[in-house]
Chains A and B, each alone.
Chain A
């Protein structure tokens, strides 16, 4: 049986094993999707990603911080459809102050060492997503919600 604990472990596994996710932002009422390299904190309360300030997503986030981030393990093989799992994080994104960059980047670069020069650029912004809930979809249609504000840890 898939227990509650196993489902939460699957969320953590996706967040820790996948490097990229699809970020959904709001562009004047229209959803805008973009691929970001992210990292996650130990308890999965926060996610971090980086973007240059000239991007559409940066402008969207400046106007509206409400976001969703889809992380999944899909392949294009029909044989593995039921093995695919996806988790969508809902929350709000705020830009991390430059003074805090060094601390955040320490773990971010462990995950994405190739992005060293990208995140070091003065034109790059780091965002922190405070997650309100995760929605896990597995075995094609099973959906479970995890509410982070009710999580006792």
Chain B
């Protein structure tokens, strides 16, 4: 009995273990359409692998660790990465491996190259429409490479995208399974998608085409030509042409974007034969299947090959307020991320810096109320512009970390799926640089007892003193230490506080260079260039992920500055024309603030129910204890004392200066790659993230033990 079933033998009876995608391709092949030949590995084999390796229990553990309703998208990615790592690091049970190798060597392993794709059983036609939730691997050569790819495709049953749509897909640990398609690779000269009814105009067909393979089209790296055809005659009714410069082509180790030669870059990928075949095949398929279709195709030697067919359903459209399509769009290709990095480094961040600097030069006190109101509105508009750039450009850049994480884990198969973060540490992290300068200023003050006493007595810093000059430079560079809170933080009293305690330089002495070398030593020669590019993008992503907040913070500081000036005038009764400006502004410009109603809940709950131990995500290794300093909107950050545990909703740029003094960090916002986790790792501080309601359940002064290895916070309350 063979596990692999050829397309020619697939039938409706096997639907339960094969999935709709495989059945569709087999049916089209049986109907005489050009479909690359293939085999299907039923989901039974997935279940057998889980049972043999004990993976089913691990998956259940990962999926039940925290209520999905309380998980952010980043946490779903972490869950997904851990599951993926379990799959990648499990050795094949020998008997299974032998049987599968036998099947592969008698069939698909003999093709020059194959594609391994997912086909999840139980998907109805609507859920098939959620394209891109599961992984595919293309250009694979040999049985071993196929075996590796099968595990990755299996793991993608639990991808972050699939977990987002878990209800629609009816994902259940224990019962859900994944079948796999192993298909001969057709390397097309041109590839694309065809909608038999265009999304905007159902009287025409619409096709998109790029040179080379169509992965670059699907992930948005290459902009396609977009043509429309009359559904009645096939005549081309509209041509949207772009200049093509790149094509995704197969290489010895996968695929790569390669420049087009001049002849191709000036031509459209569409030609008359392709247009006619698209029109005819689209019509035939629609008649056969009785629905409007979304068809992925490739065109080789003037013949159209069908790669995938899905009905166009309402499921493709998302409801208002459903942010899941946006989350899915954060998955970016390497090329896309490289372009994004350039844009961020050369345009977005300098743009934010430029605008913030321009705001600093305006003397607000000199403005009339009318001018101040206008300045406030102008700055708010600028902030809105950068907030939207942050969402569209900065957040997607974070995917660089994920891309590297997956590459690293696939290659190294580490025990800790987040081991890769150790290679990304950077001395250029702005928050760390800023803290280093604070430390240097405190050190200067510590050595000058007379000046220290003078400042403690609220004296002024002497003009032209080295500290004064450093302080001015610091303020110019970073706009002070805090931007979001309303009280102006007194930098000098903070320095006095730092100077009065032991020097605490906890910044990590990590050796990323050594770790990098160890990593590159394991990268096969052919993939070295790719590995270098992915690591470079990931390091930029790590750096930008924190730095972009600081740049945005500088712009926000400009808005806060006008708010403070307005408030000052309101307080002194000189606020004609300003009164109505602020309330809406104050609330709307606090993007990360938590829900104020939670305080009411605390009071309502009284003290009969007490959290004793809370479980989150281990985001920074180590264990440490100390009294809790619970930060909320009313907190005065400079009250923070060394040795306290920082408990907050989310670490914001205005809080990172506290990190070197903290015994540990506990954060409501979850994820291994959130700012709190990054800064904690830089300082080697135990950190637990993703504790729902951390700032509500933990009370100021509770004595906490933070276990950053296991993600557990134990609470010892003095009255209990």
Contacts and interface: CB of A to CB of B under 8 A. Distances in A.
Interface of A: 1-2, 4, 7-8, 78-83, 135, 139-148, 150-152
Contacts of B61: 78, 81-82
A145 B609 contact: yes
Given A1-B70, A79-B60, A146-B609, 5 more contacts: A2-B70, A139-B65, A141-B712, A142-B614, A147-B609
A143 B611 contact: yes
A82 B57 CA distance: 10
A144 B611 CA distance: 4
Contacts of B693: 1
B67 A83 contact: no
Contacts of B612: 135, 143-145
B64 A83 contact: yes
B615 A142 contact: yes
Interface of B: 56-57, 60-61, 64-67, 69-70, 173-174, 601, 605-615, 692-693, 710, 712, 720
Shortest 7 CB-CB contacts between residues of A and residues of B = A82-B64, A143-B613, A78-B57, A150-B608, A143-B612, A79-B60, A141-B615
B56 A79 contact: yes
- A135, A139, A143: most-surrounded residue (chain B CB, <10 A): A143
B636 to A, nearest CB: 28
Nearest to A80: B60
16 contacts: A4-B605, A8-B609, A78-B61, A79-B56, A79-B174, A82-B65, A83-B64, A140-B65, A142-B614, A143-B613, A144-B610, A145-B612, A146-B608, A147-B610, A148-B608, A150-B608
Contacts of A151: 608
B367 to A, nearest CB: 45
Nearest to B67: A2
A150 B606 contact: yes
A140 B711 CA distance: 12
A6 B693 CA distance: 14
B72 to A, nearest CB: 13
A142 B611 CA distance: 8
A81 B57 CA distance: 9
Nearest to A150: B608
Q: Which of A78, A83, A142 has the most CB of B within 10 A?
A: A142
Given A78-B60, A141-B712, A147-B720, A7 B609 contact: yes
B606 A152 contact: yes
Contacts of A147: 607-610, 720
Contact of B173 (A2, A7, A79): A79
A135 B173 CA distance: 29
A4 B609 contact: yes
B698 to A, nearest CB: 13
A38 B655 CA distance: 51
Nearest to A151: B608
B610 A81 contact: no
Contacts of A82: 60-61, 64-65
A150 B65 CA distance: 31
Contacts of A81: 57, 60-61, 64
A113 B710 CA distance: 45
Contacts of A146: 608-610
Contact of A1 (B60, B69, B611, B615): B69
A147 B605 CA distance: 12
A1 B692 contact: yes
Contacts of B615: 139-142
B610 A145 contact: yes
A9 to B, nearest CB: 12
A140 B613 CA distance: 11
A1 B66 CA distance: 10
A151 B613 CA distance: 20
Contacts of B66: 139
Contacts of A135: 612
A2 B692 contact: yes
Contact of B67 (A1, A8, A79, A144): A1
Which of A8, A135, A144 has most chain B Cβ within 10 Å? A144
A151 B608 CA distance: 5
A143 B70 CA distance: 17
Contacts of A4: 601, 605, 609
Nearest to B613: A143
Contacts of B614: 142-143
Nearest to B60: A79
Contact of B720 (A1, A7, A145): A145
Contacts of B65: 82, 139-140
Contacts of A83: 64
Given A139-B64, A152-B606, A79 B57 contact: yes
A144 to B, nearest CB: 6
A152 B609 CA distance: 11
Contacts of B692: 1-2
Contacts of A141: 613, 615, 710, 712
Contacts of A2: 67, 70, 692
Contacts of B56: 79
A139 B65 CA distance: 6
Contacts of A80: 60
B714 to A, nearest CB: 8
Given A80-B60, A81-B61, A144 B609 contact: yes
A17 B62 CA distance: 27
Contacts of B606: 150, 152
A146 B610 CA distance: 6
A28 B126 CA distance: 66
A141 B618 CA distance: 13
A127 B166 CA distance: 48
B690 to A, nearest CB: 12
Q: Which of A78, A80, A145, A152 has the most CB of B within 10 A?
A: A145
A139 B616 CA distance: 11
B674 to A, nearest CB: 19
A79 B55 CA distance: 10
A35 B57 CA distance: 29
A100 B380 CA distance: 73
B614 to A, nearest CB: 6
B563 to A, nearest CB: 32
A153 to B, nearest CB: 10
**A79, A81, A135, A147 pick with most chain B CB within 10 angstroms:** A79
A149 B720 CA distance: 12
A2 to B, nearest CB: 6
Contacts of A150: 606-608
Contacts of A143: 611-614
Nearest to A134: B609
Nearest to A153: B608
A116 B530 CA distance: 75
Between A1, A80, A81, A141, the greatest number of chain B beta carbons within 10 A of the residue's beta carbon is seen for A141
A150 B712 CA distance: 27
A2 B693 CA distance: 10
Nearest to B70: A1
A86 to B, nearest CB: 13
Nearest to B697: A144
A136 to B, nearest CB: 9
A39 to B, nearest CB: 23
Nearest to B173: A79
Contacts of B609: 4, 7-8, 144-147
A92 B712 CA distance: 31
A151 B174 CA distance: 40
A64 B615 CA distance: 35
Nearest to A81: B61
Contacts of B601: 4
Contacts of B605: 4
Contacts of A8: 609
Contacts of A140: 65, 615
